[in-house]
C-alpha cells in the first residue's frame, strides 16, 4: 500500500517493483480504451466519418511526441525499424497482448509486423464492415505513418492484408510492412500535431532513472519479442508508468483539439468530459483489481495516487490525504496540465462526473462531495453511502470493449529478435 500523505513525486515510486510491473501494462491498456470511451459520443455528434476524422487527428497530434519521449527516457533513440518496433511496445495505441503485435526485422530499413490478436478489431467487428474499414483503413493509414515519423520521416507503414477479414476467421488479423527509404516523401506535419508539440505535457521533466539497483534501466540492445516488465528496474518502471500516464494526457489534448474544430467550446468540453468519465471509472476498477486493493477508502486512496487523471505529479497539481477515516482530494489549478487545459480542468464543483465515476470504480457506494473551491483549487471528500449508485452510462459504454475485462498472462522469457 502506498503512503497517502501528500507528496509531489512519489505516487509510483512508493510501489514495489513487482506491483509496478503489474501496473504498467494496465496503464497501457487503459490508454487504448480512451478511444472506446470517447468514440461512441463522437458517433452521436458527427457520425461514423466524423468520428474517424477526430480519431485520425488526435493520434496524429499525440503519438509522434510521446513516442520521442519514451525513446529518450529508455535510451533507444534511433532511425531504424527496430526503434519503431520498440516504440510500438510502449505505446498506448498498442497495449501488450490486447493488441498482440509480432515483429520481423529483415534489415535496419525493412521489417514487418502483424497482429495475432487485435482487441480493437474484436470491439469493432460486430458493428460491420463500414466501421472496420474506418478503423483499419481510414484511421490506421495516416496514424501509423505519424507514429513512424517520430523515428524517421522517410518511414512508411503499408498493409500486406488487413480487415475486413476474408475469410471471416483470417489470422493473423492484419499484417504490415515498414520500409525506410529516402525516396519516400515525408508526411506533412499537421497544425494539430505542431500544437501538441508546443504543450507543457510534451516538455515536462519526469523522474530520472536511477541506474543503481536490480533490473534493466533502459531498452538499449536488441528488440525483444515481448516486453516483460518485471525485468525492468523499479526506477525504470516508475518512469515508464509516468510516461504512459502522460501519453494519455497528450492523447486527450489531441482529442479536445480535434473536437473543438467541429463544435463550440461548451459542446467540446461536454464531449471530452464524457470521454474522461468513462475511462476514469474503468481505469480505477482495473487498477484496484490488478493490485489486489480493498474496496474501502484506503484502497481508493491508493488508486487516486496512481490514476492517470491525477498523474504524473510533475504535470498534475493534486494531493491525496487519508488519515484512516477521512479521504480528501485536492485538485490544484497551478499545474502544467492547467496551462494545457487538460483533463483535470474539466472537473469543477458543478461537474464532478469524472470523479464520481473514478471513486465508484473502486466501490459503487462512494460519492465525491465538494468541501472547498476557489481559483487555487477544488477540494473534495469521499463519503460512503448506504447503498450502491447505479453505474453511469459513460462507464457502461466503455465497458462494451473487450478490453475492460481483458486479463494479461505470463508469456515467459522473451526472445531477442535479430535480422533474419
Q: Three-class SS of residue 381?
A: strand
Report residue 381 as a C-alpha cell. 471528500
Q: Three-class SS of residue 156?
A: strand
Report residue 117 as a C-alpha cell. 490478436
Query: What does the DSSP assignment read for 98-132?
Result: TEEEEEEEEETTEEEEEEEEEHHHHHHGGG-HHHH
Q: Indicate the pTM of the whole model.
A: 0.96
Separation CA 23–CA 237 (nearest Å)? 9
| Angle, CA of 135, 354 and 205, to the nearest 5° | 80
Could you tell me which residues come within 8 angstroms of residue 175 by beta carbon, excluding any fewer than 6 positions away? 112, 113, 114, 115, 159, 160, 161, 162
| Angle, CA of 406, 36 and 146, to the nearest 5° | 105
Separation CA 123–CA 111 (nearest Å)? 28
Alpha helices per DSSP H over 294-369: 297-306, 336-340, 353-362
pLDDT score, position 10 = 54
pLDDT score, position 11 = 86
Q: Give the chain's residues under pLDDT 50.
A: 1-9
Separation CA 41–CA 84 (nearest Å)? 32
Could you tell me which residues come within 8 angstroms of residue 169 by beta carbon, excluding any fewer than 6 positions away? none
- pLDDT tens by residue, 219-261: 999 999 999 999 999 999 999 999 999 999 999 999 999 999 9
Residue 386 Cα to chain centre, angstroms: 34
pLDDT score, position 1 = 43
Could you tell me which residues come within 8 angstroms of residue 117 by beta carbon, excluding any fewer than 6 positions away? 97, 98, 99, 100, 173
- pLDDT tens by residue, 146-181: 888 899 999 999 999 999 999 999 999 999 999 999
CA atoms within 13 A on the CB side of 230: 9
Unique residue bearing C-alpha cell 496512481: 306
Assess whether the previous peptide bond of 196 is cis (omega < 30° from 0): no
357, 235, 247: which is closest to 312 by C-alpha? 247
Amino acid at each position: 500500500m502506498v503512503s497517502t500523505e501528500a507528496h509531489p513525486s512519489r505516487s509510483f515510486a512508493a510501489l514495489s517493483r513487482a506491483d509496478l510491473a503489474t501496473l504498467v501494462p494496465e496503464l497501457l491498456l487503459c490508454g487504448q480504451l480512451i478511444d472506446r470511451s470517447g468514440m461512441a459520443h463522437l458517433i452521436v455528434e458527427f457520425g461514423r466519418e466524423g468520428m474517424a476524422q477526430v480519431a485520425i487527428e488526435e493520434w496524429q497530434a499525440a503519438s509522434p511526441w510521446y513516442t520521442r519521449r519514451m525513446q529518450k527516457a529508455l535510451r533507444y533513440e534511433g532511425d531504424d525499424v527496430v526503434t519503431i518496433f520498440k516504440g510500438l511496445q510502449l505505446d498506448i495505441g498498442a497495449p501488450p497482448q490486447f493488441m498482440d503485435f509480432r515483429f520481423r526485422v529483415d534489415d535496419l530499413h525493412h521489417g514487418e509486423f502483424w497482429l495475432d490478436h487485435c482487441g480493437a478489431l474484436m470491439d469493432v467487428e460486430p458493428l460491420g464492415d463500414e466501421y472496420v474499414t474506418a478503423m483499419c483503413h481510414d484511421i490506421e493509414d495516416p496514424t501509423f505513418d505519424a507514429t513512424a515519423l517520430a523515428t524517421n520521416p522517410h518511414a512508411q507503414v503499408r498493409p500486406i492484408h488487413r480487415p475486413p477479414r476474408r475469410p471471416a476467421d483470417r489470422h493473423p488479423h492484419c499484417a504490415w510492412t515498414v520500409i525506410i527509404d529516402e525516396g519516400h516523401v515525408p508526411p506533412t506535419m499537421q497544425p494539430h500535431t505542431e500544437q501538441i508539440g508546443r504543450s507543457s505535457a510534451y516538455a515536462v521533466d519526469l523522474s530520472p532513472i536511477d541506474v543503481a539497483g536490480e533490473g534493466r534501466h533502459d531498452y538499449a540492445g536488441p528488440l525483444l519479442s515481448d516486453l516483460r516488465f518485471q525485468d525492468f528496474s523499479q526506477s525504470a518502471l516508475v518512469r515508464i508508468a509516468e510516461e504512459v500516464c502522460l501519453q494519455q494526457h497528450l492523447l486527450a489534448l489531441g482529442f479536445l483539439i480535434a473536437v473543438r474544430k467541429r463544435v463550440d467550446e461548451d459542446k467540446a468540453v461536454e464531449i471530452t468530459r464524457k470521454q474522461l468519465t468513462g475511462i476514469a471509472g474503468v481505469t480505477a476498477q482495473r487498477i484496484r483489481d490488478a493490485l489486489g486493493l480493498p474496496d474501502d477508502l484506503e484502497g481508493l486512496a491508493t488508486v487516486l495516487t496512481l490514476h492517470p487523471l491525477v498523474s504524473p505529479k510533475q504535470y498534475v497539481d493534486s494531493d491525496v490525504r487519508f488519515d484512516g477515516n477521512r479521504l480528501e482530494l485536492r485538485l490544484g489549478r497551478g499545474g502544467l496540465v492547467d496551462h494545457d487545459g487538460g483533463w483535470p480542468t474539466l472537473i469543477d464543483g458543478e461537474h464532478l462526473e469524472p470523479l464520481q465515476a473514478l471513486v465508484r470504480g473502486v466501490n459503487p457506494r462512494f460519492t465525491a462531495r465538494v468541501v472547498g473551491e476557489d481559483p487555487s483549487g477544488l477540494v473534495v471528500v469521499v463519503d460512503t453511502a448506504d447503498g450502491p449508485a447505479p453505474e453511469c452510462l459513460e462507464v457502461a459504454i466503455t465497458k462494451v470493449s473487450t478490453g475492460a475485462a481483458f486479463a494479461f498472462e505470463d508469456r515467459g522469457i522473451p526472445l531477442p529478435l535479430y535480422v533474419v
